Amino acid sequence: MMNWSAANRTAMIAATHAHGDYKVDAGQRIEVVGAARRAGIMVHAQPLTKLFGMYVDRPMPAAVVNSRLDVYAQRQTLAHELGHHVLNHGMQVDFDLDATSAQRSSSGASWAASNEERTAEAFAAWFLMPRTAVRATARQLDIDQIDSADDVYRIALALGVPLATLLRHLPNVRMLSAQKSREWATVSRAQVRRRLNRGLPSLPRPTSDVWHLSEEYQLPQVVARPHDRIVVTLPSEGRPSGWRLEHAGDLMVTATTALIGGIGQTPASRFVVDVPESTSEGVESHGLVLAYADSGGLVDRLWKVTVAVADARHGVSPVWLDGKGDESR
């Protein structure tokens, strides 16, 4: 039986080759649907009973993902099925990928997973979370060092992966100690959401994620789900009311607040917007633009970000699962 160290070594090499073979930019959020299609895999989502997904290699390669999963679990599952394809595992049925990872954490090599499942799980982690992408994303979020589960949550949102999955993988990319990974494993996504939403209006839904953005946010877009919340806090250089909302598209403005001492001792402006329900089968995008006016009322600078709305999908679609329209190419 292959141990997890060996599975990770095999998977890391295979994932690196797959990034190159399927024209994936490994320095940012990974386009897993596009990669699967470029690998010649037909991708389909449908309701499955007690299954996360499955892969078949005959008569043609195909991956089926449970449409009842959230978008992050769908992406992880599809990457797992892609691993079966890349590693030539033949037909595989995956009952509970997260249980696979949980068993790995608690019992390590003693858990009787097949070699195929271990390497496919490790492949999914290395494919979606290569060291380059994790480090670049942390830097773009202005996270110099991961100090809390909240930092892990923010990186996981930007990468489009489950919190627990990233938390388990961070020791592999030398960004968190194994001890911290185990300690923070008890922190749930719901706990982090509540902390990040403290002092703000109630979330649209209990499962809404909370994106905290600042002036240092350098990612080109936020790939959010319907009903997610985006909180933007910007320094106002002595004038807490200096920022104003210039454009929000269909994003719902929930609150705007002038904060005295909001960033350190610097006055700041905070804007809270909620992502609307998607109204089409494809991926919708909204521009969020904030303008800073000087004391004379003239616009001095702009802060803007694109918010792409991507939810879990059903059936076969060229854009489901990710926030980029070129996923099917």
The domain that holds 226 is classified in CATH as 2.60.40.2020
Rounded Cα distance, 255 and 298, in Å: 24
CB atoms within 10 A of CB 288: 22
Indicate whether 173 belongs to any domain: yes
Identify the three-state secondary structure at position 143.
Answer: coil
Same domain, 167 and 207: no
- Sequence-separated (6 or more) residues with CB below 8 Å from residue 256: 245, 269, 270, 271, 272
3-state secondary structure 151-163: HHHHHHHHHCCCH
Same domain, 209 and 278: yes
The domain that holds 28 is classified in CATH as 1.10.10.2910
Query: When comparing pLDDT for 265 and 293, which is higher?
Result: 293
Rounded Cα distance, 85 and 74, in Å: 17
Rounded Cα distance, 100 and 80, in Å: 12
Per residue in 102-125, pLDDT tens? Answer: 443 333 333 337 889 999 999 999
Q: What is the pTM of this model?
A: 0.87
pLDDT at 98 exceeding the cut of 80: no
Indicate whether 327 belongs to any domain: no
Indicate whether 328 belongs to any domain: no
The range of the structural domain enclosing residue 210 comes to: 200-309
Say if CB 84 and CB 115 are below 8 A apart. no
How would you label 99-138 residue by residue, b for 16+ Cβ within 10 Å and e otherwise? ebbeebbeeeeebebeebbbbbbbbbbbbbbbeebbbbbb
Indicate whether 317 belongs to any domain: no
Which pLDDT score is estimated for 327? 46
Query: Mean pLDDT throughout 236-257?
Result: 79
Indicate whether 320 belongs to any domain: no
- Sequence-separated (6 or more) residues with CB below 8 Å from residue 265: none
Per residue in 8-56, pLDDT tens? Answer: 999 999 999 999 999 999 999 999 999 999 999 999 988 888 889 999 9
